[in-house]
């Protein structure tokens, strides 16, 4: 009979079941959150867009550094790709920039696409 003064150790399965589930590699970038549109297709990633960095301007506004095709430059929230800003794909707009987390969110119509450094 087990001694009532001692607490039995949990079984291996109980310990493993109590562990939180999460990313296998905690240093890997987080998985992209992809919202599916009404037709069930995932939004299209902006073609050949590279997200290279973030910074705060002198006025405290966030900027992200991107490259598209052979153009590169800085973008701010609200900027939209086109002739005036050729370093963003045409029609894609900057939704938000989080400097602390190194994240850029672009949108194209109802689609949202996050980029992570």
Please count the other Cβ atoms lying within 10 Å of the Cβ belonging to residue 104: 28
DSSP reduced 3-state for 102: coil
Alpha carbon dihedral 30, 91, 54, 25, in 10-degree steps, equals 10
Minimum mean pLDDT among 19-23, 29-33, 94-98: which range? 29-33
Statement: residue 28 has pLDDT above 60: no
pLDDT at 26: 61
pLDDT in tens, 72-109: 999 999 999 988 999 998 889 999 999 888 899 998 88
pLDDT at 69: 86
Percent of all residues in the chain with a pLDDT value above 70, rounded to a whole number: 76
Give CA–CA dist 34/24, Å, rounded.
20
pLDDT at 17: 82
pLDDT at 35: 45
Statement: residue 29 has pLDDT above 60: no
Whether 75 contacts 94, CB under 8 Å: yes
């Amino acid at each position: 009979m087990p001694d009532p003064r001692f607490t039995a150790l949990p079984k291996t399965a109980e310990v493993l079941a109590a562990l939180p589930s999460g990313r296998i590699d905690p240093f890997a970038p987080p998985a992209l959150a992809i919202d599916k549109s009404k037709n069930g297709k995932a939004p299209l990633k902006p073609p050949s867009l590279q997200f290279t960095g973030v910074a705060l301007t002198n006025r405290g506004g966030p900027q992200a550094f991107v490259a598209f095709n052979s153009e590169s430059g800085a973008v701010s929230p609200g900027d939209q790709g086109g002739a005036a800003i050729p370093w963003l794909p045409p029609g894609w707009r900057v939704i938000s920039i989080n400097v602390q987390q190194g994240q850029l969110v672009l949108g194209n119509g109802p689609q949202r696409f996050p980029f992570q450094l």
